[in-house]
Structure 1
Amino acid sequence: MPLTQPIALNTHLSVLVVDDIAITRLQICSIVQKLGFKTLQASGGAEALRLFEAEQPDIVLLDLLMPEIDGFAVTRAIKATEGERWTPVVVLSGLDGEAHLLKALQAQADDFLHKPISAEILGHKLNNLARVLNLQRQHSALLTRSRAITENSFDGILVVDPHQRIQGINFRGELLFHAEREQLIGRPLSELLPKLQLNGAAEAGLHSQVLLAKGLDGSELPVEVGVTFFYQDDEPYLLATVRDISERERVDQLKQQFIATLSHELRTPLTSIIGALKMLHGTQAAQFNATSTQLIEMADRNAGRLLKMVNELLDINRSAAGSLQLDLQWHSLGELLAEAQSAHAGYAAQHQVKIQLALAPEISNTQILTDHHRLMQILGNLISNACKFSPKQGTVTVRAQIHDEQLHLAVEDQGNGIPIDFQPRLFTPFSQAESGDARIRGGSGLGLAITKQLIEAMEGQIHYRTSELGTCFELAFPQGALQCKP
């Protein structure tokens, strides 16, 4: 009967053949070699154990009945020393009955064959074992690679079971929490990351939070935690990556200090320059010819633009530092919107655009709790943007209505819409959409970033919708910020 066709990867596998009868051992080795395996031979139990330790064979074919150390003892010894690497042991026996085979299986043998050996059956068994071993090698390689990535990661990595207890942690995690792995396994996640929010996290998918991590020694460290979930045995496990951001926060603080210092140092001379230019233009205009007057006006405009940019930098800096102060008072909403329209009428005229108010009837007797200066700044940013990007003879519409006791303000233009590739960066400081007339339209790229930070400081929200027919920015103010005048 022909032998089973060898598996191509069999040439990488070795088989230890153990039998005290030489002719039987040689016959088995011949079959094994024809199947593509390498072979090792041992004539007894003691020699088999020496070869196993020295050569680490992949499979063992083991006769049960041998003098001195029998196959049962050899099987137990191999299984006691194989560790994580599984080495299948196939026992061979010529005895009748099944009691000795059951005893071998109890000694942790993996399979058995009756003597005389059938080459076809042996071939199938070895090829099946080869498939399993090759899969095991692939799995082991993936596991080794995964462990290498995990252990050498710059971030701490935590695996947390469905009961919110730590089941795994890498080397970086040990350093972050100032404890060894054995001390951390089994501890509640809340002990290390007490302010981590997990409500609805499984449905939200991957997300990150900035908070303080607490080491076992009582130390605290600012970290950014990325959280995601995976399922094992239909149970949700949490995977948390913990990144030390203490250096990033230190650099951010230095940057904020630098910007604040620089902005203050720039603002003082700029204010003096603007004052001097206005005095020249206002009181001594008759002494200058037309060209000089134009130069003074140009210098005044550009100094004003520069001062506006310095003030925007300060606002961005204060917001990032959490030191943005609001002066909240009750104001007539209708009067505020009329003031914003009037303040930007000249700017709209420069762009040949009209600003119109579309106010719901209830707006006329509604008051809003807000910071007057900051709300004017928000509306100014949105209205000026809408004017810049509207076509000539276009209309910028400021809408206001109250829905579910919440104020909704909207500024709409009739421009070409916001490019799709720019939309993810819309509220990022210093971002501007690329276009041929970007330099003509001007701007620092700070307006929308400041607007978003200001409205959020007021506990409101900003949204937008855009198309080729125009863009609309909508502000939603919190409930409780409105009251009706009697």
Structure 2
Amino acid sequence: MTTIKTSLKGFLPSGLSGYMALASSILSIILTVVLVALVHRQATEHFKENIGNGLGELAQQTADKLDRGMYERYREIRLVAKRLAELDPVAEKDRRRRMLDDAVETYGYYSWLGFAGLDGTVHAAARGLLEGANVAQRPWFSNALKNIHIGDVHEAVKLAKLLPSDDGQPLRFVDVAFPVLGAGGSPAGVLGAHLSWQWARDVERSVILPIQASRQVQALIASSDGTVLLGPPELLGEKLDLRALEQARNDKGVGYHLETWPDGKDYLVGYSQTRGYADYPGLGWTVLLRQEAVNAYAPVRKLSQYALWTGVSLAVLFSLAGGLVANWITQPIKQLQQDADRIRQGEAATITPTGRSYDEVQSLSGALNTLLDDLLRRSRQLESLNQNLEQRVDERTRELAGALARVAQTAQRIQTIVESAQDAFIGMDRSGIVTDWNSQAELMLGWTRDEAVGRSLGALALPRRFQAGFERALQDYRNTGVARDLSGRIERTLVDRHGNELPVELSIGSAGQGERGFFSLFVRDIAQRKRVDEMKNELVATVSHELRTPLTSMRASLSLLQSGAAGHLDSEAQELVGIAHRHCERLVRLVSDMLDIEKVASGKVAVQPRPERFLPVVLDALAAIRVQAADAGVALAPHWSPELEGLVVEVDRDRITQVLLNLLSNAVKFAPRGSSVDVNLENGGDQVRISVADRGAGIPEAFRDRIFQRFAQADPGANQKTSTGLGLAISRQIVVEHGGQLGFEDRFGGGTVFHVDLPLTQATLTVA
């Protein structure tokens, strides 16, 4: 590489004048080449177009001459037919033959001319050829009676053995036939003529031969289906599939086209479609004039060579002129260079421009003198600064080393804390990929650190039914930046390496912003605590079962007393019985809720989802709560689009109805009288969401973190509407068992929106 640079340096100029001369030369060459190329391109395209149009016009002349020649033959046979109609068909048979002989000798293009009766028998023919033969099956005979007077080129059939061939090629004819009319105006016979195809070669020689020697042009005549009727011997009878033929047939016009022929050569082809002449309808022939592209564009190549040498010559002249001008322009700058060299050698301290210097050199000289003064001043300052530079660099280096040591010490301390923690620790990025995994996590879940890091935590340690919700929570965090379901202390179920489910308590924290955001998860095994909870739940269930029977009896007895079954009660006793009955009802509801949450939490009540049309489930819940809403003076306002009427969701109908009734009952309970509770059903693609929104006072900030806990209640004094505090806990557990989520948010303008998200599985999508 160094050798190449050294070699190139020998060819580059050493001064500004040389560079200006080189730049001027390069620009001159580029401009000249571009200008010549543009002119050459335009001239070449124009020249090519003229050559192609010339071939097209020559093809048009040939086509016109063919049409006019065929019109003459057409008219000649029609005139002979009229003259034959004037003769008696029986008495003047010899005269008919003489007339036909005269026509053949006069016009010279007819190989055969004959008159046949309506039965097809030839009665008279020039030179007596085919007299007595029957031509009823020949196309020209039947077509003439149908007023079709001309037929396309074909080889001789009956005359092939009777007529000699001048060039050894098979005889080919164009049929021209007209009916010969009798005295009453009806056909008395048919006059048929076989026009020798040789006359088309006469047309070719008259038009093409004068230019063929100089331009090496070949003429072809193709029939309407592309069969070569006239042209080079190797193409006669061949059917061509050429773009030029297609354009001639489609456009019915004149033009040219450059394309490759079956022999593998490129030809410039001029084409023209015959159109007939006067009342001659024409046969749809196409005239093609082809010339090898090499020969056709030979003048273009000469033009290109001329343009190239002209451009080179102009570039050389401009380069020489540019060098002279550059040397003259840079002379004052060379003087500045000499002054600068003297200053560098210590001979002078100022720069003095010459009298021939232009304004820019004058300004540059003044600026350089000012710069010299400034450099001297700054040099003295630099010497002073350099004395303290090494000392400052050394101080900064020691400070940086100390900071790095503190960072390393902090990282080591954090790693030690994480490893020594009694709980399992898992680090996770914003995409759910494991970034850290301590030894307690290895013991709890069975995966080593090397196996876990880099894999998705959802696929690695979550049961399949919870993975979709986990991914949605991550996506929500990436979209909003808020880790709504991925923060705080929550209870979840994990699976170890062997597929065993473990109840755990997760302490989740998030840090960082954007792509650098991450989560820290401390995982504690709560299996022992769960067993204690199960024992407690069993105790609660036992107590609840034991309480239900006497409470039921008490409620029935109080109902009988209240209804007057035991006789009339005074007002004070009636009031006391009412109080006892209401509190008994509340105890029954509390016992029922405690039994429900114990069954769901312990797994004794299995959720059995199956595909259900979801809208009837929602309508049933609305119908069940309508009386309560009417008593509370609250309107129910359902909203959904018509396409959701057939939506199918995989749910346990009874349990989801229980969830919806609980949410609707709470909304009606806390909605102000005269307001409405909005129920919205939406399809999110992979999940369905039903929302219940009220216009109540909302959920207090201090109560939000424990709203789904058992027996959790807001301050009763806020609205004097109390409950057992178990409904939302039961509802959330049912929704989680369905693989969904139950959440809430503030409603714009006041109130609360509770929403249930249920997954749409492939099975329900298929049913829908």
TM range (shorter): 0.5 to 0.7
Which digits, 9 at most, give the CA deviation of each residue in 1:33-54, with x for residues without a partner? xxxxxxxxxxxxxxxxxxxxxx
Change in 2 beyond 3 A, CA 1:193/1:335: closer
After TM superposition, list the pairs within 5 Å mapping 1:321-332 onto structure 2: 321-326=602-607
Letter in 2 for 1:447: G
2:723 alignment partner AA: G
Q: Which residue of 1 aligns with 2:723?
A: 443
Identity of aligned residues (%): 28
- Deviation per residue, 1:443-475 (Å, 9 max, x gap): 122222222333344455445442344333344
| SS of aligned partner of 1:444 | coil
| Aligned positions of 1:92-107 closer than 5 A | none
Larger Rg: 2
**Is residue 609–residue 738 contact of structure 2 (8 Å, CA) maintained in 1?**
no
SS of equivalent to 2:712: coil
TM normalised by structure 1 equals 0.53
The verdict on how the C-alpha distance between 1:356 and 1:300 changes in structure 2, with shifts beyond 3 A counting, is: farther
Change (3 A) 1:305 1:328: farther
Higher mean C-alpha deviation, range 338-347 or range 278-287: 338-347
- 2:658 counterpart residue number: 377
Which residue of structure 2 lines up, in the alignment, with residue 266 of structure 1?
547
Cα 1:366–1:121, aligned 2, differ >3 Å: closer, same or farther?
closer
Q: Tell me whether 1:453 sits opposite 2:733 in the alignment.
A: yes
Going from structure 1 to structure 2, the CA distance change for 1:261 and 1:351 (only over 3 Å counts) comes to same
Aligned-partner SS, 2:717: coil
CA distance in 2 between counterparts of 1:327 and 1:168 reads 36
Q: Which amino acid aligns with 1:154?
A: Q
2:149 maps to 1:149: no
Residue in structure 2 matched with residue 196 of structure 1 by the alignment: 461
Change (3 A) 1:147 1:257: same
Amino acid at match of 1:281: Q
Q: C-alpha distance in 1, partners of 2:675/2:647? A: 29
Q: Tell me what 1:251 maps to.
A: 532
* 2:710 is the counterpart of 1:416: no
Indicate the residue corresponding to 1:293 in structure 2. Answer: 574
Q: Give SS of 2:588's match.
A: helix
Change (3 A) 1:253 1:383: same
SS at match of 1:467: coil
Cα shift readout 1:360-401 (whole Å, capped 9, x = no counterpart): 667888888755543443333222222222222333344557
Q: 1:369/1:168 Cα in 2 relative to 1: closer, same or farther (>3 Å)?
A: closer
Asked if the contact 1:332/1:366 (under 8 Å) is kept, the reply is yes
Give the superposition deviation at 1:140: 7.0
Deviations 1:206-257 (A, max 9, x none): 7786424469xx99976557789999xx999997744333332332322322
Structure 2 CA distance for partners of 1:295 and 1:354, relative to 1, 3 Å = farther
Distance in 1 separating the partners of 2:645 and 2:458: 50
CA gap 1:282/1:400 in 2 versus in 1, 3 angstroms? farther
Distance 1:299 1:271 in 2: 13
Relative to structure 1, is the Cα distance of residues 136 and 254 closer, same or farther in structure 2, using a 3 angstrom cutoff? same
> Which residue of 290, 308, 311 corresponds with 2:592?
311
Specify which of 565, 572, 581 is matched with residue 284 of structure 1: 565
Cα offset, 1:298, TM superposition: 2.6
Aligned residues: 354
- The CA deviation at 1:299 is 1.9
> Contact 1:159 / 1:238 at 8 angstroms: preserved in 2?
yes
Residue equivalent to 2:710: 429
Match of 1:436, SS state, is helix
**Deviates most, 128-137 or 282-291:** 128-137
Partners of 2:714 and 2:523 in 1: CA distance: 34
Cα drift, residue 300 of structure 1: 2.0
Residues 293/331 of structure 1: CA separation in 2 closer, same or farther (3 Å cut) = farther
Q: Using a 3 Å threshold, how does the CA distance of structure 1 residues 193 and 245 change in structure 2: closer, same or farther?
A: farther
Q: Is the 8 Å Cα contact of residues 366 and 483 (structure 1) preserved in structure 2?
A: no
With over 3 angstroms needed to count, the CA separation of the structure-2 counterparts of 1:136 and 1:435, relative to structure 1, is: same
Per the alignment, do residues 262 and 133 of structure 1 end up closer, same or farther by CA in structure 2, a change over 3 Å counting? same
User: In the alignment, is the contact (CA less than 8 A) between 2:493 and 2:501 conserved in 1?
Assistant: no
Deviation per residue, 1:133-172 (Å, 9 max, x gap): 7557745754664465345422244789xxx9999855x5
Amino acid at match of 1:320: A
| Higher percent of residues as helix | 2
Which deviates the most, 368-377 or 303-312?
A: 368-377
C-alpha displacement at 1:284, in angstroms? 1.0
**Helix, strand or coil for the counterpart of 1:416?**
coil
Equivalent residue letter for 1:316: I
Separation in 2, partners of 1:408, 1:128: 60
Instruction: After TM superposition, give the deviation of residue 441 of structure 1 in Å.
Output: 1.0
381-390 or 140-149: bigger deviation: 140-149
Inter-partner Cα distance in structure 1 for 2:444 and 2:593: 37
Q: Which position in structure 2 is the counterpart of 1:104?
A: none
Q: Which amino acid aligns with 1:412?
A: A
Q: Hey, what's the Cα distance between the residues in 2 that align with 1:177 and 1:405?
A: 30
Q: What amino acid sits opposite 1:441 in the alignment?
A: K
**Contact 2:442–2:449 (CA<8 Å) still a contact in 1?**
no
Which blocks of at least 5 consecutive residues in structure 2 are unaligned? 1-387
In 2, the alpha carbon distance for the partners of 1:221 and 1:455 equals: 20
In the alignment, residue 196 of structure 1 is paired with which amino acid? A
Instruction: Work out the CA distance in 2 between the residues paired with 1:368 and 1:124.
Output: 72
1:113 aligns with: none
What letter corresponds to residue 443 of structure 1 in structure 2? S
Letter in 2 for 1:313: M
Alpha-carbon distance between aligned partners in 2 of 1:403 and 1:351, rounded to the nearest angstrom: 33
- Residue 327 and residue 221 in structure 1: after superposition, are their counterparts in 2 closer, same or farther (change >3 A)? closer
TM-score by length of 2: 0.36
DSSP-derived class of the 1:429 partner: coil
Map residues 22-61 of structure 1 onto 2, 5 A cutoff.
none
* Per-residue deviation, 1:279: 3.1
CA 1:345 to 1:312, structure 2 compared with 1: closer, same or farther past 3 Å?
Answer: same
Cα distance in 2 for residues equivalent to 1:124 and 1:334:
77
